[in-house]
Chain A
Amino acid sequence: MTYVPHTDADREAMLKAIGVRSVEELFADIPDSVRNPVLELPPPLSEMEVLAELREMSEGNADLDHYTCFLGAGAYNHFVPSVVDAVISRAEFYTAYTPYQPEISQGTLQTIYEYQSLVCGLTGMEVANASHYDGATALAEASLMAFEVSRRRKHKVIVAPDIHPEYRQVLRTYLRSTGLLLMGDEDPQAGLEDLAALIDGDTACVLVQNPNFFGELLPTDGDNGLSGLAHAVHEASGLLVVVVDPISLGLFKPPGEYGADIVVGEGQPLGNPISFGGPYLGLFACRDKYKRKMPGRLAGATMDTRGQRGFVLTLATREQHIRREKATSNICTNQALCALAAGVYLAVMGRRGLRQVAELCYHKAHYAARQINKLPGFEVQSDQFFREFVVRCPQPPVEINARLLERKIIGGYDLGREYPHLADCVLLCVTEMNTREQIDRLVAELAELS
């Protein structure tokens, strides 16, 4: 049954009001030839035949069940324990919508609250929201939040050039019409001291990524490290925003310990498959004193009238459905199912499990780097890195990658695309999913090119 709310009389009255004779007339600007073209579709197929055809099409993809992957650059191939899918496949979770009514949404609200708590523990922050669309939007929201924290008085957003290039693109799109001034990444080789030199009284925030886009771990301690940068931006009453790789936090110091005010990041590595690019989730956490300026949805723990612990969406007066154009953000939703997967992943792995994953990544990546560095013509450029590293190649990365792909290996990210000074460099990624045999096979393939 189709439900059409307007009667013929309604439609006639509306057409009359705008002075149009028929509904068709409204589409007059679209040429006849493309308005209702005859689609050249094949004859109908049975379900069995459709499935066979779809399978054939999907097998044209280079998926990670059939290819070995050394590509990261923002999306990471990590193991997803079966329990993650088992939990998120429950109908209560995967069909649930916004839990505005706590009386019927305790389970969903509790999973959000636990996810938030885990993100706080991971980042060293005091409050985390229920997630954003992805790491890039979370970063853009963080800079808008810093602007709000400055009571809309500080207009400068200093962005490190070694933040993911696509994140910086999203940031530029977001900030285009806000009057905020984005700077710092004009020189692709600018370091922390160059960013610090840009800080002044008009600085709303400084954005950095650790490990950076090249997989390098930035120094955290001392005047020349991130804590020094945090100090400098705090002196100017601005905020330090750090983009993190959540897996790296299994092994390395959380940004809360080196002065970050807002921590964001791509949450995909936590229990979410690469899935050809999405859906992912944006991690977002901040200091307690800034929570009222935080964008997005927030679940809180409370007590019901019988004194029992319960969960509700809280501080909703910040949000768009209540505060309209004065809301902290235009985003009024979250990636609930992906956040649930991340929460289940963190709960299953625990502190020790996450550390183990991080250690495996670290050691395997360093093993791969050592082996590749031995090859004539190949030179590893990275020193302190986590699970990605830069390799200068004797041949154009495009050609190397094409050759690897023929051998069912997905090669690294071609850095020349975004960084001219790294024109012959690739960014290789190694995770716990890469076996020693796979790494040795990659090295052997590269050896043939050296």
Chain B
Amino acid sequence: MRLDQKCRYNKTHEWIRVERCEALVGITDYAQDQLSNVVFVELPEIGDEFQQGDVFAVVESVKAASECYMPASGNIIALNEELLEAPELVNEEPCTRGWFVRIALDNPTEVDQLMDAQQYEAYVSRLVEEEGRQ
């Protein structure tokens, strides 16, 4: 599993990477792998405001359409428009070129409450283990 040590992670499999008062948000390698081939990403609009936990995007794969939840409160300042033409970037480079939105953070301390890379890795392996048991 590809993990970025600089990112923080949500239980719903979004990552957030803080750069000063701004942050990039996308979905994790584990999430894209579960979804399989991503065919469309429905992004919000610039200026939209979200609270932590709000649905901000819908990612559609050949298997399902799933909501993406905001890891921290903020408003949208940029969108990855490349995804509209090339949604496969979410599968190919989920932590880098496959980012979804750039947000201006309302409260950067919210990010500190999220899992770091090690905690997320442990969380995912627990999930995989549970799945294996079922």
Given contacts A317-B60, A317-B61, contact A292 B67 (CB under 8 A): no
Is B42 in contact with chain A by the CB < 8 A criterion? yes
The answer to the question of B86 belonging to the interface, with a C-beta cut-off of 8 Å to chain A, is no
Contact assessment for B64 and A317 in the assembled complex, using a CB-CB cutoff below 8 Å: yes
A326 sits at the interface (CB 8 A): yes
Q: What secondary structure prevails in chain A residues at the interface with B?
A: helix
Q: Mark A11-30, 1 if CB is under 8 A from B, else 0.
A: 00000000000000000000
Q: Which chain A positions have C-beta within 8 A of B64?
A: 317, 322-323
Q: Please report the C-alpha to C-alpha distance between residue A322 and residue B44 in the assembled complex, in whole angstroms.
A: 22
Total of A-B residue pairs, C-beta within 8 Å: 16
CA distance A322 to B62 in the complex (A): 11
Q: Which of B40, B44, B63, B67 contacts A326 (CB 8 A)?
A: B67
The answer to the question of B65 belonging to the interface, with a C-beta cut-off of 8 Å to chain A, is: yes
CB distance from A296 to the nearest CB of B (A): 16
> A318 near B: Cβ within 8 Å?
yes
| In the bound complex, CA of A292 to CA of B84 (Å) | 13
- Chain B nearest CB from A291 CB (Å) reads 10
Cβ of A292: which chain B residues have Cβ within 8 Å of it?
40, 42, 60
CB distance from B60 to the nearest CB of A (A): 5
Tell me the smallest distance from the CB of A197 to a CB of chain B, in Å: 27
CB nearest to A293 among chain B residues: B42
Nearest chain A CB to B120 CB, angstrom units:
25
Q: Report A-chain residues with C-beta under 8 Å of the C-beta of B67.
A: 326
A151→B61 CA distance, assembly (Å): 20
Inside 8 A of B63's CB, which chain A residues have their CB?
Answer: 317
Q: What 0/1 pattern do residues 15 to 56 of B give for CB contact below 8 A with A?
A: 000000000000000000000000010101000000000000
CB distance from A435 to the nearest CB of B (A): 54
The answer for the CA separation of A323 and B65 in the assembled complex, in Å, is: 7
The CA-CA distance from A323 to B67 in the complex, in Å, is 10
Q: A191-231, CB under 8 A of B: which get 1 and which 0?
A: 00000000000000000000000000000000000000000
**Interface positions of A (Cβ within 8 A of B):** 151, 292, 317-318, 322-323, 326
Apart from A292-B60, A317-B64, what 14 extra A-B contacts exist at CB < 8 Å?
Answer: A151-B44, A292-B40, A292-B42, A317-B60, A317-B61, A317-B63, A317-B65, A318-B65, A322-B64, A322-B65, A323-B64, A323-B65, A326-B65, A326-B67
16 pairs, A vs B, C-beta closer than 8 Å: A151-B44, A292-B40, A292-B42, A292-B60, A317-B60, A317-B61, A317-B63, A317-B64, A317-B65, A318-B65, A322-B64, A322-B65, A323-B64, A323-B65, A326-B65, A326-B67
6 tightest Cβ-Cβ pairs between the two chains A and B: A317-B65, A317-B60, A323-B65, A317-B64, A322-B64, A292-B42
